[in-house]
Each structure stands twice: as C-alpha cells, then as structure tokens.
Amino acid sequence: MSVGAWVAAASAGVAVLLAIPLRRSLPAPLIALALALAGAALAVGGMLVRTNPSTGEVAFAALLLAVLVPAHVRIVLGPFGPGAREGEA
C-alpha cells in the first residue's frame, strides 16, 4: 500500500474517532479544527495516490475537504461540544 493510501486511511480513522465518540466530549472549536485538519490530510493522502497532481489541485482539494468534513459531521451527526444536547440542530 502506498504512503498516500496510508495517510488517507489514517486521517479517515482519526476523523471517525473525532466524529463519533469524541464529538460531544471535547470543546467544539477543538473538534471542528481537528476535523478540518483530518479532512485536509485525507485530501493530501488522496492526492499522493495520483500521479503528478498539480499544486493547485492539491491545495484546492485540501481546502475543500477542510471545510466539507466538519460541515458534514455537523449536519449528519449534530452539534459539537459538551454543551450540545441530543436532538438539537
């Protein structure tokens, strides 16, 4: 397995760990930032699998997933942080 695949798999694992068991127990800004970093790492790992991606492609993918991963977790699973109540949107 290539380095890019390992980076993508590890960052996806970290994102799942942050999104499911830790989302409600850690402070909301910390979770959002960590999910953004995991999303950017996922994009970089995916780009490492490709042959010769341009710098613009890598930057755009990293920026896009840094925004979309935390947004996706927030929309699908609910609010971040210990103050978030179940069922609150």
| Average pLDDT value for residue range 13-41 | 94
Q: Is 85 among the domain residues?
A: no
Its sign, for the CA torsion 53, 59, 63, 69, is positive
Q: Is 88 among the domain residues?
A: no
Q: Which domain holds residue 23?
A: 3-77
Would you say residue 10 has pLDDT above 70? yes
Domain total in the chain: 1
Q: Is 13 among the domain residues?
A: yes
Give the span between the Cα atoms of 39 and 51, in whole angstroms. 20
The pLDDT confidence band at residue 40, using thresholds 50, 70 and 90, is very high
End-to-end CA distance of the chain: 40
**Six token digits for residue 47:** 């780009």
Q: Is 69 among the domain residues?
A: yes
Q: Is 67 among the domain residues?
A: yes
pTM of the model: 0.88
